[in-house]
Structure 1
Amino acid sequence: MKKPPSVVITDAARSPGDQLHSREIRYVTMMGARVACLIVGGVLVSLDVPLLPIWLTLCVAGMVLLPWMAVLIANDRAPKTKAERAADAAAREHRQNALADTPVASGEPVTIDSEIVDPDKTH
């Protein structure tokens, strides 16, 4: 009887390129909304619109806040899954165990020089 696979491809994380593409799409969408706020603000100023100061305040807030939010969202990456966190913890533990198992050299300390000196040759 066959053993079921330990890793299923549908459980795999999204590729970094795919994550980057989705962040780029979000960034461009938010910057497009910023441009829309600029255009709507310009149109509202040229027309006689009731409650103009409120509409302009909303447009200016969108033009100021959207770039900041777009950069934060574009630089964010997906949170690690439980499996990724467990793999990172196991790798850290493995490195710590490897460092702990490394024997400490005893005896004369090692000096590292920048020049190679041949003891047979005299200056």
Structure 2
Amino acid sequence: MSIQRYETGARMSRVVVHNNTAYLCGQVAEDRNADITHQTQTMLAKVDDLLASVGSDREHILSATIYLKDMSLFADMNAVWDNWVPAGFAPARACVQAQMASPELLVEISVIAAIKA
């Protein structure tokens, strides 16, 4: 059984790969003081970068869990999400309201994706 851990620190790894599946830790925005649109865009850009680093991409996302600070942000977050997900490749997804680790954060995502063959 092979498990690869990438960008591992004392608390977590940014990506763990096992059985051709990539598990990304929670990703947040580059600028924690930006609005929900910008936070979502930069958060998803981080997902793109991490997926590419392990041989995956948006079309191989199996599952995504999105955490919103407040459900009043749902429509604006979804506007970015809907433009980011390739047509025909929508993953299984959950979106919940959650108390964020930092008060400026509006959105966080956790992703599971298949590695491209």
Confirm or deny a common fold (TM above 0.5).
no
What is the TM-score with the length of structure 2 in the denominator?
A: 0.22
- The structure in which a higher percent of residues are helix is 1
Larger radius of gyration: 1
Higher relative contact order (CA 8 A, sep 6+): 2
- The structure in which a higher percent of residues are strand is 2
What is the TM-score with the length of structure 1 in the denominator?
A: 0.21
